[in-house]
Amino acid sequence: MEPLLRLTDVKKSFGDIQAIEHVSLDIYKNSVVGLVGGNGAGKTTLLRIMSGVYRPTEGDVTLANNRPVAEMRSVLGVVPESTGLYSKLTAWENIRYHSRLHGIDDQLAWNRTYRFARLLDIEDSLHRYTEGFSRGMKQKTALLRSLAHGPQILLLDEPTGGLDVTSARTVRSLVRKLKDEGGTVIYSTHHLAEAQQVCDRIIIVHNGVIQADGTPEELMTLTNSQTLEEAYVSLTSETARPRMEESETPSKFSAMWRRLFTPTGKLEVVEDE
């Protein structure tokens, strides 16, 4: 079977910092693939490379038929950790604007949106302005926006981060339904229990490299562990590096601003009397 998405010996560096090293992956149709790792592991960088937001420093990223991701973004749906909604627009207006960028007819986009909105239980809020939305409502709207153009692959970065229990459960239920309908989801999370619930394949990312790749059962067998948490700890025993996924070189203006407004003197600790 030909993979929908292929990464071949991908590396990504930010100046002297190597964020991703020698990553090769094949993502196949009808699967939920979990990218699991702690803060700074490289998950977000890897997702941005898959979506074409970042270009790899070395290596190749291609979709089916060996076409580069940059030429086929219409087959990708992306939900970043920050939803990026326009607060002065309604939920539907945010979604419609996005679908029009993909050349999707408004009626088709609405039909898709309303179907999934019912599953997420927010169909009555589609014509409300997103300015007053809760974190959960914004996340659900971002999910609808990513699905309106009918993508083949859905990329989710910490999709339940900051959500209440009910909202998180609803999002996980939608992911499972998408898989049941033949969809493909790449699901980035640092919650092992969540990954075990929704993912049929788990890729453990640690310090910019892939430490393991397999089903939860395979990873537990590999490490002779009783739980996925034990397997993860065993596979990531090396000390985690500091978070560096956003380590871009600051602009001259940013550097000047910091020099002007960052105190240079030492602060003294004053003990309570």
- Amino acid letter for position 83: T
CATH at residue 238: 3.40.50.300
**Which pLDDT does position 268 carry in this prediction?**
47
pTM: 0.81
In a domain, 269, yes or no: no
pLDDT along the chain (273 residues), means of 10: 90 91 93 91 90 91 79 84 90 96 94 94 95 91 94 91 86 92 92 90 93 94 91 80 51 53 47 43
Structure tokens at 22: 């020698």
Residue 189, domain extent: 5-82+155-259
Q: Are strands 209-214 and 201-206 parallel, antiparallel or unpaired?
A: antiparallel
Look at the chain and report how many structural domains it folds into. Answer: 1
CA atoms within 13 Å, Cβ hemisphere of 212: 23
Query: Token match 């034990």: residue?
Result: 230
Q: Dump the DSSP string for 47-71.
A: HHHHHTSS--SEEEEEEGGGEEGGG
For residue 34, give both structure tokens. Answer: 């979990």
pLDDT at 271: 45
Start-to-end CA span in the chain (Å): 72
Residue 90 forms part of a structural domain: no
Q: Is residue 105 part of a domain?
A: no
For 5, the enclosing helix (H) or strand (E) is: strand 5-14
Residue 209 domain flag = yes
Is residue 98 in some structural domain? no
**Of 165, 167, 224, 232, residue with least CA distance to 196:** 232
The C-alpha atoms of residue 239 and residue 248 are separated, in whole angstroms, by 23
Q: Residue 12: helix, strand or coil by DSSP?
A: strand
Does 69 map to a domain? yes
Residues near 164 by beta carbon (within 8 Å), at least 6 away in sequence: 136
- Calculate the CA 141 to chain-centre distance: 15
pLDDT at 200: 93
Token pair 């992911």 is at which residue? Answer: 175
Q: Output the pLDDT for position 265.
A: 47
Residue 74: predicted pLDDT: 80
Residue 95 lies in a domain: no
Quote helix, strand, coil % in the chain, to nearest 5: 40, 25, 35
* Of 52, 49, 9, 27, the residue nearest 152 (C-alpha): 27
| Residue 111, in any domain of the structure | no
